[in-house]
Amino acid sequence: MNRQAFGNSGDPGATTMMTVEGMRRGLARRKVLDQVFVLIGLVVMLACLMILAVLFIDLVRDGWERFTWDFFTHFASRHAERAGILAAWVGTTLIMVVTAVCAVPIGVAAAIYLEEYAPKNWMTAIIEINVTNLAGVPSIVFGLLALGLFVYQFDLGQSIAAAGLTLALLILPIVIVATREAIRSVPNAIREAAYGLGATRWEVTKDHVLPYSTGGILTGMILGLSRAIGETAPIITIGALSFIAFLPESPFKSEFPFISFGWLNDPFTAMPIQMFNWVSRPDQAFQANAAAAGAILLGMTLIMNGVAIWIRYRFRKKISW
């Protein structure tokens, strides 16, 4: 008689279990336990989802009075009601541009290499281990890397370029992993067909594999950027200022060549930094500003994630091999 199979439900002894009556009672109890667990699982799951809603509603409620046009067009200020997020959202936007421009091509290229080209040797193994490893490195350590390397060795200073590069390294593993998954899901028959017609490996990749994996790559890019947009620790470490009353140089010029890169070297602040600055002030009036900034930040993250989920869903539905 295997006692284990009947559960540790505290049956008085093996003898009761042997009787049909005892077995029936044991079974009933075990079935009740099943129902109880389903209930617990549902409650825990809903509680976690509720917290997300509570978080968002709470931020919006606390910051409601600050959602005015002025909040978006004013610089930070010593007076809570006059302070705005102009420098912060401009800074965040520019940093995201740098991050995307650096992380996406490198990440996609690395993923293509690992999936389509890499031979099975020690170098490939090292690259793979490093990608996995980087995904687990605490974000603040990327900040330290950037402080030692970008800010002082490369002499980028506490600039938008340094921040963008730091976040690019941080989201590189996310882009690589997402792109690899997308590439892996393209059936081999498609590659074989292209090879069969005499295409080279790059032609196969560029003309067939990449177009089919666009959805997955886009998803990875958006998820990566949504992670980068909320990252605070690494850019505090490289020395983002929290009080900035000017904008970086405009990337657009009225005369030829109409575009300038002077902003790359400008000091900056960003949305999460601004929010952190407001949260850590003892003055209650600033908490409303922090809540408003947080609501915007959270809203942007949720929208980006939503878009990523939607793209994944769309592409999955559209392609049927």
C-alpha pair distances (Å), 148 with each of 30, 106, 142, 162, 266: 60, 22, 10, 11, 19
Would residue 106 be called left, alpha or beta, if left means φ above 0 and alpha means ψ between -120 and 50 degrees? alpha
The answer to whether residue 50 forms part of the interface with another protein (CB under 8 A) is: no
Half-sphere exposure for 287 (CA within 13 Å, toward CB): 7
Instruction: Tell me if 179 sits within 8 A of 213, measured CB to CB.
Output: yes
Q: Which of residues 6-35 bind another protein (CB under 8 A)?
A: 7, 27, 30-31, 33-34
Q: Which residue, 3 or 253, is less far from another protein as judged by CB? A: 3
Choose the stretch contacting another protein; rule: CB under 8 A; options: 4-12, 65-73, 74-82, 213-221: 4-12
User: Which 238-277 positions form the footprint of another protein (CB under 8 A)?
Assistant: 238-239, 272, 275-276
Candidate residues 145, 181, 212, 265; the one interacting with another protein per rule CB under 8 A:
145
Q: Output the smallest distance, CB 176 to another protein, in A.
A: 7
x/- track of binding to another protein for residues 78-117 (CB under 8 A)? ---------------------------xxx-xx-xxx--x
CB 220 within 8 A of CB 172: no
Q: Which of 1, 198, 257, 258 forms a contact with another protein (CB under 8 A)?
A: 198
Kindly indicate which of the ranges 74-82, 85-93, 189-197, 261-269 contains the residues binding another protein, using the contact rule CB under 8 A. Answer: 189-197
State the CB neighbour count (10 A cutoff) for residue 309: 13
Total number of residues that touch another protein (CB under 8 A): 98
CB-nearer residue toward another protein: 262 or 299: 299
Which residues make Cβ contacts (< 8 Å) with residue 208, sequence separation at least 6? 186, 190, 191, 194, 199
Q: CB of 145: closest distance to another protein in angstroms?
A: 5
Contact between 141 and another protein (CB under 8 A)? yes
Alpha helices in the chain (DSSP H): 14-18, 20-63, 69-73, 86-112, 122-136, 139-146, 160-184, 188-196, 201-204, 210-230, 233-237, 271-279, 285-318
CB of 160 to another protein, least distance (A): 17
54, amino acid identity = V
CB 243 within 8 A of CB 277: yes
When binding is defined by CB under 8 A, the residue of 1, 20, 189, 259 that contacts another protein is 189
Name the 3-class secondary structure at 252.
Answer: strand
Q: By CB under 8 A, is residue 221 in contact with another protein?
A: no
List 85, 94, 171, 229, residue binding another protein (CB under 8 A): 229
Nearer of residues 160 and 204 to another protein, judged by Cβ? 204
Min dist CB 318 to another protein, Å, is: 17
Residue type, 180: R
Which residues have C-beta within 8 Å of that of residue 17, sequence separation ≥ 6? 1, 3, 6, 11, 23, 26
To another protein, the closest distance from the beta carbon of 248 in angstroms equals 20
- Nearer to another protein by Cβ, of 113 and 251: the residue is 113
